[in-house]
Every structure is written in C-alpha cells, then in structure tokens.
Amino acid sequence: MICCLQGYCQANDTMRLNLRQVVEMAKAKSIASKQATTLKETRFWEWKTYKSNYQPQLSLYGNLPGYSKTFREVLQPNGTIEFQPVKYNNSALNLALSQSIAQTGGTIFGTTQLQRFDDFDRQTILYNGVPYALGYAQPLWRYNPLKWDQKIEPLKYNESKQAYIESLEQISIKANNYFFDLLLAQVNLQIAETNFINTQNILRIANEKFDMGKVSRNEILQLQLEQLKAQKAVGIAKRDKEIATLNLRSYIGLQSTDKISLSLPMASINMFVDTAKVVAEAYENRSDAIGFMRRVSEAKRDVAKAKGDNGLNATLTARLGFSKSARSLGKVYESPLNQQAIQLEFDIPILDWGRSKSRMKTAEANKQFTEYAVEQDKQNFTQEIYTQVTLFELMKDQLLLTAKADSIASEKYQIAKERYVLGNLSITDLSIAFQENDQAKRDYIYALRDFWRAYYQLRYLSLYDFEGNQKIYYK
C-alpha cells in the first residue's frame, strides 16, 4: 500500500508535457506573448487615431469669463499719453464643425460665434455674434499629408497585424529551444544514472573476477575511476536539469511548482512543403513583404513633401455668413447682416541659395537608395525561404539516420556488456561502447531539435500551416 501511495504522489507532483503543449502555453501565458498583445493594441489605437483624421470634427472653444481690471494707455489730443483705469469682461464662445477633404487637402468648416462685452465703468453691455458662417480653406501647390496617409497608414496597420502573428511564431521557436534544452537535460540525467548503475554492476562482477584472479588490479582501478566519473556526471546532469527546468518554466509562464517531465516529440510530420508555395505565402502574409511596399511609398511621400515645400506656397480661404452686434442677446439673431471674406496667403522664396533644390535632390536620392535596398531585401527574403525549405528536407533525412545510428549503438552497447561479463572484451572497448551509445542518444535528441526548429522556422517565414493547409491567424 505504501508503495502504491508513493507512486500516486509522484504522479501527481509531476506535470507531463509534450512539445505542442509547451508551445501553446508560451503563446498564451509568456511575458513575450503579453508584450506582443500590448503592442498589437497600441497599433490598433494608432490606426483609430489615423481614421479619426478623416471624420468631421466638432469643437467648442472660447474664453468664459474674460474679466480684466487694469490701466490702459490712452493717447490724448495733444499727443501725450495718460493711463486710465478700465474694468470689463470680454467673453466669447465659438462652436465649429470642420471636415477635411483628403483628395485636395482642403478643409470645409462651419461656425457659430457669440461674444459679450461688459463695461463696468460705464454700466454698458454689448453683444456681437455670428449666427452661422460657412467657409473653405484650400492650400495651393503644397504637400497633402492626408492623401499620402491614405496610402501608407493602411500598409502600416496591416504590417502590424502580420507582425503580431510573426511574434507568436517567434515565441514558438524560442519555446521549442527551451523544450529541447530541458529534454536533453533529462536524457543526459537518464544516461548518467543508467551508466552509474551499469558501472556499479560491472565493478561488482569485476571484483568477483579479481578475487578469482581473472582480472588485474589496474582494471579494477579503471572501473572505480569510471564509477566516480559516472557519479559526478549524475550530479552535473541534475544541476543542468534544474537550470533547464527553471528556464522553461519562466519562459512559458508556468506558475506551478510541480516537476516537469517532457515527452519525446514525433519524428515525422504529415505535411508536404513546396518551395513555390512557401514563397507565395510569405509574400502574401509576412509583415516584411508589406514593409517593402510601405518603405517605397514613404520614400515617394518624402519626395512629394520636398517638392511641395519648394517654391510657391499659398492658401486660399473663403468665408460666407451672417453677423450682428446689439445691446441685447435676442437682437443679435434678428435680421443679421451679410458677412463675406476671401483671403489669399502666399509665401514665395526669392533667394534661398539652393536650399529647396538641395532638399528635393536629397529626397530623390533617398528614394532611389530605398528602392535599391528594398530590392536587395527582397532577394535576401526569397533566398532565406529557399534555404529554410532545403534545411527542413535535410533535417528529415538526418533524423532518420540518427535514429538508425542510435539503434545500432544501443545494440552494440548491449553486446559489449555481455562480452565483458564473459571475459572476452577489454575495459577500454567497453568504455568506447559506453561513449558511443551515449553520444548516439544525444545526437538523436539534437536531430529532433533541429527538425522541429526547422518546422517552426518554416511556419514563421511563411505564416502558413502546412499541416492544416491554411494561413496562420490569431485573434
């Protein structure tokens, strides 16, 4: 009964995880995933801010109250100045509605205004108001930021959405690395403990043979040294396992203090990878592919801005409405008078010593440089995908070879143990068989790690799930 209870408690204290569970936990609970989610929300609200620039804007502004008690200078008929005390209130409110026109860069607006002036010295009240007025302001021959934002901001937002998916796939790659670090540490501990037990058994047999005079003292010493090495290896393996467990637990956000036992991942995946398909999906899904278009558009925008700020800059403003002043509030809105205004503001550089031309040429040179850089990045982007597909296929072949080598080394090790017990194998050959068996097991874990790393790297580069034949998407 005690043995059964001990086994039950050990099972409850150990959390058994496979690779896919570790990856999903990292995507859901890790600090990196929370940072990616926060960055995604930040980009979303930046997108909402951009969209609000094209919506009508309603604002109320003014000064209420506008009380003042001071001395003002007053010019006298004889040319002298006297300072007279004044005490008044000058309050105003303005309600304005405006709408930007993205295609022209202009702004159409409507406004209503009301002003009240109280002269406390003379006990008088005056009102001045604009019941309503409409106007339009149009920049002429100038850079239009709204038009260019319509081209660039959607690219930036789509780029951020794909970057979020990429960040989660990068988390998968890192979680894979931490998983195999711990798995390798567990395998090393298992190997070290097995070697220690085997060395003890072989040393026991060798001592019996030594008592019968069949082995030399030197061989006993060699086996005792091997036992000490095996015991030391167990301690080192336990330390490495604890460190790897802590690293994995910290990265995936695992709060439980239970021990972790990892399951060996599958050695194959039911999926077909076509290079042309990977490249096509990468150019359709990756943020870098969207970034290529954004970078070129931004370079063109900078050229347009340099040209727009070069030469004649003018703004034409027209306004039509009604206004009236009166001594009572109600009369301000009775038969108001026409109000009309038209204004052309301009700025013409006459002599700038080539500064405007230099800015334009610099922007054009930067645009050319960006186009070359994007072209080079596209080539590197495509080449990386071709290389990764090739590596994935190689890793599948390497995994089969290392699995076969592990099987052969294990069988060779068993034969070597039996031959040593029978007395027809030297301790040196037995030690070599030990090492080859251990290294074959480690090589198999390394091959598994490289295979799954290539798998997750392929997902990251294409943002496509080749197992499910669908694009990778996260809410």
Work out the average pLDDT over 198-219: 77
What is the dihedral sign for C-alpha 46, 48, 50, 53?
Answer: negative
Place of tokens 């999906």: 281
Calpha distance 171→39 (Å, rounded): 15
Question: Looking at residue 12, what is its pLDDT?
Answer: 53
Q: Which helix (H) or strand (E) element contains residue 32?
A: helix 31-52
Say yes or no to pLDDT of 4 above 70: no
pTM: 0.82
For 108-161, write each residue's pLDDT tens digit. 999 999 999 998 888 889 999 999 999 999 998 888 999 999 999 999 999 999
Amino acid identity at 409? A
Contact 110, 131 (CB under 8 A): no
The pLDDT assigned to 269 comes to: 82
Could you tell me the two tokens for 45? 């609200």
Give the Cα separation of 342 and 340 in Å (integer).
Answer: 7
Q: What pLDDT, on the 0 to 100 scale, is given for residue 200?
A: 83
Model confidence at 379, pLDDT cuts 50, 70, 90, reads: very high
- The pLDDT tens digits of the residues spanning 270-313 come to 788 889 999 999 999 999 999 999 999 999 999 999 888 877 78
CA separation for the pair 318, 134 (Å, rounded): 8
Cα separation, 387 vs 231, in Å, equals 43
pLDDT at 10: 45
Rounded Cα–Cα distance for residues 430 and 223 (Å): 10
- pLDDT exceeds cutoff 60 at 400: yes
Amino acid at 202: I
The two three-digit tokens of residue 422, written as one number: 């029978």
pLDDT for 8: 33
Domains and CATH numbers, the chain: 16-52+148-299+356-471 (1.20.1600.10), 57-101+106-143+312-348 (no CATH)
Q: Where are the alpha helices (DSSP H) in 253-354?
A: 275-285, 287-308, 329-332
